[in-house]
Amino acid sequence: MGRSTPVATFGAAMALTAAVSVSTGVAFADDEVWPAENTQSSDEVQPTDGAQPTDGAQPTDGAQHNVTYRARVDGLARGALITYRISDAQVNSADPTMLPGRTFEATAVLSDPAEAGMRISIQWPYSANLHCEILVDDQLFAQADQFIGPKLTPARDDPDYGAMNCGAPLSNAPGLPADELPLPPPVSGDGTDAPPATPPAEFPPVDQTPAPDPFATVN
């Protein structure tokens, strides 16, 4: 009975050591396998600055339109004058020799195609058919034909006789920008009083003493 005690004590010690070893291994396994909560894994794709979406809005300038003017004078007419809008604020004029079958053509760039316009005029004795076309971006915008009958005398009382308008009217003078049109002289004051008159120039008095007669007889 006295020798059985050390054997039991040794067996209990071995069982305790095995239990401690098993629990320690499980703890190490837990620390290595489970990641911390709310931590992103390496399989997730992280967004970069270059992949950020954009609204795609780009600033754009006002659209410009290509305008083509064509004019033709069919008949025996002289002094043809063709006026057309060449830009948003300027018109241009040309006086080509318009022989039968010849077509005058000019181009321009406008921001508003509704402002495209031209005018054809001929001089006396007239007797010709006028034809014009206006194309905007290669599409027919306006077209007109008019026969100008002959006259025995120039139509001075009708300045529009012998002329034809096509498209928008031309408001400013040929070749002169709209911002350079001549303006009336300014009126002093509030505009109700006429400007003061210029005083007349002063001249020295004229000597009215009669000149002596060289042929008079001296007594």
What pTM does this model have?
A: 0.51
Instruction: Please check whether residue 117 is in contact with residue 169, taking contact to mean a CB–CB distance below 8 angstroms.
Output: yes
State mean pLDDT over 20-39. Answer: 40
pLDDT at 201 > cutoff 80: no
Domain presence at residue 162: yes
Strand partners, 132: 71, 144
Task: With respect to residue 78, please indicate whether it lies within any of the assigned structural domains.
Answer: yes
Tally the residues of the chain: 219
Residue 76's pLDDT is 79
Q: Is residue 194 part of a domain?
A: no
pLDDT digits (tens, 9 = 90+) for 110-123: 999 999 999 999 99
- Is 90 inside any structural domain? yes
User: How many other C-beta atoms can be found within 10 angstroms of the C-beta atom of residue 195?
Assistant: 10
Taking residues 45-59, report their average pLDDT: 38
Query: For a pLDDT cut of 90, what percent of the chain falls above it?
Result: 38
**Which pLDDT band holds residue 171 (cuts at 50, 70, 90)?**
confident
Q: Would you call the peptide bond into 113 cis, given omega within 30 degrees of 0 as the criterion?
A: no
The enclosing domain of 120 has a CATH number of 2.60.40
In a domain, 203, yes or no: no
**Do residues 188 and 195 lie in contact, with contact meaning Cβ atoms separated by under 8 Å?**
yes
Query: How many domains, the chain?
Result: 1
Residue 87 counted as domain residue: yes
Nearest to 104 by CA among 88, 83, 125: 83
Does 115 reside within a domain? yes
Mean pLDDT throughout 47-55? Answer: 39
117-123 and 128-136: which strand pairing? unpaired
Q: Which domain holds residue 156?
A: 65-171
The kind and range of the H/E element at 94 are: strand 90-94
In a domain, residue 28? The reply is no
